[in-house]
Amino acid sequence: MSINMNTSLNTHHHPISRYPVPELKDLPEDMRSRILEVQEKAGFVPNVFLALAHRPAEWRAFIAYHDALLLKDTGHLSKAEREMIIVATSAVNQCLYCVVAHGAILRVYEKKPLLADQVAVNYLKADITPRQRAMLDFAMKVCTASHTVGEADFAALQAHGLDAEDAWDIGAITAFFGLSNRMANLTAMRPNDEFFIMGRVPRPPKTVA
Amino acid sequence: MSINMNTSLNTHHHPISRYPVPELKDLPEDMRSRILEVQEKAGFVPNVFLALAHRPAEWRAFIAYHDALLLKDTGHLSKAEREMIIVATSAVNQCLYCVVAHGAILRVYEKKPLLADQVAVNYLKADITPRQRAMLDFAMKVCTASHTVGEADFAALQAHGLDAEDAWDIGAITAFFGLSNRMANLTAMRPNDEFFIMGRVPRPPKTVA
Amino acid sequence: MSINMNTSLNTHHHPISRYPVPELKDLPEDMRSRILEVQEKAGFVPNVFLALAHRPAEWRAFIAYHDALLLKDTGHLSKAEREMIIVATSAVNQCLYCVVAHGAILRVYEKKPLLADQVAVNYLKADITPRQRAMLDFAMKVCTASHTVGEADFAALQAHGLDAEDAWDIGAITAFFGLSNRMANLTAMRPNDEFFIMGRVPRPPKTVA
Amino acid sequence: MSINMNTSLNTHHHPISRYPVPELKDLPEDMRSRILEVQEKAGFVPNVFLALAHRPAEWRAFIAYHDALLLKDTGHLSKAEREMIIVATSAVNQCLYCVVAHGAILRVYEKKPLLADQVAVNYLKADITPRQRAMLDFAMKVCTASHTVGEADFAALQAHGLDAEDAWDIGAITAFFGLSNRMANLTAMRPNDEFFIMGRVPRPPKTVA
Amino acid sequence: MSINMNTSLNTHHHPISRYPVPELKDLPEDMRSRILEVQEKAGFVPNVFLALAHRPAEWRAFIAYHDALLLKDTGHLSKAEREMIIVATSAVNQCLYCVVAHGAILRVYEKKPLLADQVAVNYLKADITPRQRAMLDFAMKVCTASHTVGEADFAALQAHGLDAEDAWDIGAITAFFGLSNRMANLTAMRPNDEFFIMGRVPRPPKTVA
Amino acid sequence: MSINMNTSLNTHHHPISRYPVPELKDLPEDMRSRILEVQEKAGFVPNVFLALAHRPAEWRAFIAYHDALLLKDTGHLSKAEREMIIVATSAVNQCLYCVVAHGAILRVYEKKPLLADQVAVNYLKADITPRQRAMLDFAMKVCTASHTVGEADFAALQAHGLDAEDAWDIGAITAFFGLSNRMANLTAMRPNDEFFIMGRVPRPPKTVA
């Protein structure tokens, strides 16, 4: 099985990072197999996997943290809701990579082509539920003024059935993508062109050859 | 000729404004003909034309101002560059309508499907020229701290061949869409669904029936 | 009838705009007649009429918008209250022209020589009614964070008998003068000397020659 | 000699402080004689003298500090320039009392009826010298972000002939009136009506009875 | 009795002020005796006494104001609570001298070695009572946005038994140390090394020779 | 070997986290052995190891990331300099845990008892080298406005011999502790009492029993 050679190609061949980007073949086996697995699922390799691979030890910790927060099955947050948190807080941090990439994933998960742009520009006017609004209010506070988080904030979540563990989830996703936003901004990480359009148009039906 | 009845329909039939929206047939002739003209060109009626029509006198002034700034042929700003200014400053003002609608127009004008999202999230990392970067720096200053605009700002534009008249254009577009952003936010104006996808995928070739 | 030649003279002959200012005689008839009408009433030509006349198409839209908001007779806002909104929000935008010119008009309308300075420096401590305080709170939100305007803000106005149409008026005046503030700051527009003193001292009684 | 009984009267008899205001006759001799001296010169007692007299020990320290900074003859700042600093920084702190009272004194000192309003709304556009602009830039930095004051700021003053002692003067006046602004805001201190008009119109010539 | 010659010595002999620091022997008698008195009590001369002595008239007013606020016996604020206000607001103003020196005094007064650091970094998470939290909330408002202080803020104090005179105390301490913070930042005033450790470790028991 | 039972005890028995804190004996072997190793070195278990252990998968990723950044031997940043970055940025984020714990480590590494407090309150006035000042300027930009990081910022580091890899180190440490700050604030994580005093006084010489 081979990596799609178009993976790191972007419009007009812009570099995907200010830093050197390793070739897939030069990466340690554990990193390469994880990346191939993502490519298999998404159809392409999201640039974050390659850009951060410049530092293997940090890459492994980053991916482990990412998976711990986004792949877990416990708690009351749907996977789409976790993506909403990422999109809303990444917009505040003005991180192009995360707004675009996770906006795409949000569209795919929710099958709502408008939602990601709404959440990115002004979540207060987005087509979301009051519970999701409370979730994003909490995330925004962690993102911009975490030192002020207090009992009233936990109570506001509780009023929507979101308990202290959910609060941890919201806060940890916000905190982790705050790290991700800063690394993406630092490295001038470029989102794959594919993300911009993903989830905006209905997928063509799969055909059998 | 009749108005497309789907004009004001949006996903899940969300209202397009917090205020009453007049029916096209009830509008004065000058307003109706202008709106039909836009529909003819765009294929649908942008919601701003209907939402602001709640106040005909303000509507007429708004449209006249809009046209004076965006339809003029003088100066060194391309039409796409004027849209860049709108997208960048509307993002700062967190105006969903203008980011989405003018983002669409920017994509169409520039035929660059990624540009609008780049400019909206962080114009400092967008695929634009140094001249466009200077243009947006000036626009941002007018948008967020106009009282500090001074000689050095005009000189920075001049260094890219943008003269005082261009500075007026940049500033006036920023100022006018600052008004528009505030009205859209006040009225909870909803962008047409069509704008979200426009300019992201190649247009199908026109066919003859 | 001729224009008062002192119109554009200011203390120490400071220019009234960074841009060329047209002579009244060179303006199109509709603009000139409107300006002469203002001069007739005020005794001098407010500099905004001349400074913005550098761009006739924008001037016409500006004046039309201005008149639609400030000359209308409907709604629950008095003319003085509309001026309060202008003074308070222009102070936030640090626009000398609008604070001074509309401060003068506010003093004249309300016959309260202290009010404009109070509203400009800190409307929270001004001699205004609770209803006017609510009106200015709403205006300030539109001015500084319009994306956060929501149901609670409309309800706060309603508690003082100000309905949704009044909210539109408050928001539109704020938005329009936000535009005006930015243009005045961009052009370094200078308030007429007359405005600084207007309404501060009792008018001398009119005498018959 | 007796105190003018109209001293604490204001338009519509608004209180001059949220706190009890002592009567002149009840004050200790040193305070009373200082207040009478001011009244002699100004023609009325500025409300700050009475409002702060609620706390005699603090009053004495306040007046001593005030005098040390504003009555001294050393250094390169004129008395009018010291008032400019007060007006500009008090506007940032949104202190009605100091903007109005010291704006009046500034007008009187400089004999420029427009200057105080210009400095209060946006000193960057005021009719001041480059040296005064540098002085106010330094004051603003002390006012809003004193922890960032560094060598470059002292050098910027030096370029205009303002030495380290002048920097101290600018900073100390800013710091002291920052205290004054906060006390005036806390106590809802009301400027005397007289200040609003003072220095705006030519004084009538003194007549001999 | 003689002054400890190590007084103005700091680690690595850093200057204690950007300005000339007078020698104790050259100061007027009233200043010298006050400084010796402090040295007697503290075991060293806090640098603020020497740094500000560069300007005797201001020094005297400063000390008088300081004493009026911190030595008074009236009101409901303990001496430790007054120090809490200083530490919390000086941290916001990023004043090293006051955070370190008054943090030391707070530790000594309260005999709680952790309290000063807690209050300096985030008073919302400090080991304080709800009444102290309300006190610091009020102080922070005076410190950062005094123009918004209103009835609700006084009522919030009242709910904890803190009356209008206590509000004045809180506000005046905040205002006075806002002045002090700005002077310390302007002069690059350096805290004595002794303050950093004071109150962190139990005092050795006094021994009899 | 057994865990010191006083580990999670703090002054007055305050909880160390808003969330349940696992007992060391209940943790998986890999976590327990790592924690015991830290205890061996520090003499106590820093609370972050126990508080975050509430979520083992996140804990493992957190520790791996921490180690990748702080234990590596490459690059031009000393271990003390990495701690400076943590202290300065954690102070901006108002995170008590990180300011206190990493302040302690900074003192120990640098053997400068004053440095941590200086850096926490205002690094611009701290006793650091120009190179360290540039390092902290870069860190602050990543911390507060990462979307504005650009070529000029990398060049400013380069001028002090800090290359792009060092920039990554500075940015990644800032980003990672931004995550840590938010988790500590969310969980109300409490620093161990030991940290407050550590490195402030000379260690007693080790004695042989």
Q: From B118, which residue of chain A is nearest by alpha-carbon distance?
A: A96
Answer for the pair E44, E16: CB distance below 8 angstroms, yes or no: no
pLDDT digits (tens, 9 = 90+) for F80-126: 999 999 999 999 999 999 999 999 999 999 999 999 999 999 999 99
Q: Which chains touch B (3 or more CB pairs under 8 A)?
A: A, C, D, F
Q: Do residue A146 and residue F187 have CB atoms under 8 angstroms apart?
A: no
A173/F201: higher pLDDT: A173
pLDDT computed for residue F13 by the predictor: 73
Cβ of residue C122 closer than 8 Å to a chain E Cβ:
yes
Cβ of residue D152 closer than 8 Å to a chain F Cβ:
no
| Tokens encoding E180 | 């002090």
pLDDT computed for residue D13 by the predictor: 74
pLDDT digits (tens, 9 = 90+) for E10-57: 445 799 999 999 999 999 999 999 999 999 999 999 999 999 999 999
Distance CA C16, CA A24 (A): 64
Cβ of residue D68 closer than 8 Å to a chain B Cβ:
no
Q: Which chains touch E (3 or more CB pairs under 8 A)?
A: A, C, D, F
Cβ of residue B114 closer than 8 Å to a chain F Cβ:
no
Inter-chain contacts counted by CB atoms under 8 A, chains B and F: 5
E with B: 3 or more CB pairs under 8 Å?
no
Q: Do residue F186 and residue A69 have CB atoms under 8 angstroms apart?
A: no
pLDDT computed for residue C205 by the predictor: 56
Q: Do residue E95 and residue F121 have CB atoms under 8 angstroms apart?
A: yes
Distance CA C195, CA E148 (A): 29
Average pLDDT, chain A: 93
Q: Which chains touch D (3 or more CB pairs under 8 A)?
A: B, C, E, F
B122: distance to nearest CA of chain F, Å? 7
**pLDDT of E128 above 70:** yes
* pLDDT > 70 in chain F, percent: 90
Residue for token pair 């993502």: A38
Q: How confident is the model at residue D207 (pLDDT cuts 50, 70, 90)?
A: low
Compute the average pLDDT of residues C30-54: 97
Q: How confident is the model at residue C171 (pLDDT cuts 50, 70, 90)?
A: very high
A70: distance to nearest CA of chain E, Å? 30
Secondary structure (DSSP) of chain D = ----TTTT--GGG--S-SS----GGGS-HHHHHHHHHHHHHHSS--HHHHHGGGSHHHHHHHHHHHHHHHS---SS--HHHHHHHHHHHHHHTT-HHHHHHHHHHHHHHHT-TTHHHHHHHHGGGSS--HHHHHHHHHHHHHHHHGGG--HHHHHHHHTTT--HHHHHHHHHHHHHHHHHHHHHHHHT----HHHHHTTTSPPPPP---
pLDDT computed for residue F12 by the predictor: 53
Lowest-confidence pick of A124-138, B6-20, F15-29: B6-20
Cβ of residue C125 closer than 8 Å to a chain E Cβ:
yes
Write the ipTM. Answer: 0.92
Which of C96, C125, C200 comes nearest D196 by C-beta? C200
pLDDT digits (tens, 9 = 90+) for C120-153: 999 999 999 999 999 999 999 999 999 999 999 9
E149: distance to nearest CA of chain C, Å? 9
pLDDT computed for residue B201 by the predictor: 86
Distance CA F96, CA E120 (A): 9
Distance CA A155, CA A158 (A): 5
Cβ of residue F151 closer than 8 Å to a chain B Cβ:
no
**Residue in C125, C133, C136, C140 to test binding to E, most E beta-carbons within 10 Å:** C125
pLDDT computed for residue B197 by the predictor: 96
**Residue in E118, E119, E121, E124 to test binding to A, most A beta-carbons within 10 Å:** E124
Distance CA B38, CA B45 (A): 6
Cβ of residue D186 closer than 8 Å to a chain C Cβ:
no
Cβ of residue F147 closer than 8 Å to a chain B Cβ:
yes
**pLDDT of B7 above 50:** no
The residues, any chain, with a CB within 8 Å of residue A131's CB and separated by 6 or more, are A160, A161, A162
Chain B partners within 8 Å of C61 (Cβ): 61-62, 64-65, 68
Cβ of residue C203 closer than 8 Å to a chain D Cβ:
no
User: What φ, ψ does residue B3 adopt, rounded to 5°?
Assistant: -70, 140
Q: From F149, which residue of chain B is nearest by alpha-carbon distance?
A: B124
Distance CA C96, CA B95 (A): 27
Average pLDDT, chain C: 93
pLDDT computed for residue D6 by the predictor: 40
Chain B partners within 8 Å of D125 (Cβ): 147
Average pLDDT, chain D: 93
Whole-angstrom CA distances from F194 to A31, A142, F45 are 40, 28, 10
Compute the average pLDDT of residues A92-112: 98
Which of F100, F121, F127 comes nearest E94 by C-beta? F121
A with F: 3 or more CB pairs under 8 Å?
yes
Q: How confident is the model at residue A12 (pLDDT cuts 50, 70, 90)?
A: low
Q: From C122, which residue of chain E is nearest by alpha-carbon distance?
A: E147
Q: Do residue C197 and residue D201 have CB atoms under 8 angstroms apart?
A: yes
SS3 (DSSP) at E68: helix
Average pLDDT, chain F: 93
Cβ of residue E150 closer than 8 Å to a chain C Cβ:
yes
F75/D207: higher pLDDT: F75
Cβ of residue D130 closer than 8 Å to a chain B Cβ:
no
Distance CA E170, CA E172 (A): 6
Distance CA B21, CA D41 (A): 64
Q: How confident is the model at residue D201 (pLDDT cuts 50, 70, 90)?
A: confident
Chain B partners within 8 Å of A96 (Cβ): 117-118, 121-122, 125
Compute the average pLDDT of residues C170-185: 98
D127: distance to nearest CA of chain C, Å? 9
D with B: 3 or more CB pairs under 8 Å?
yes
Cβ of residue B130 closer than 8 Å to a chain F Cβ:
no
F with D: 3 or more CB pairs under 8 Å?
yes
Q: From E126, which residue of chain F is nearest by alpha-carbon distance?
A: F96
**pLDDT of C5 above 90:** no
| Tokens encoding C150 | 């929501």
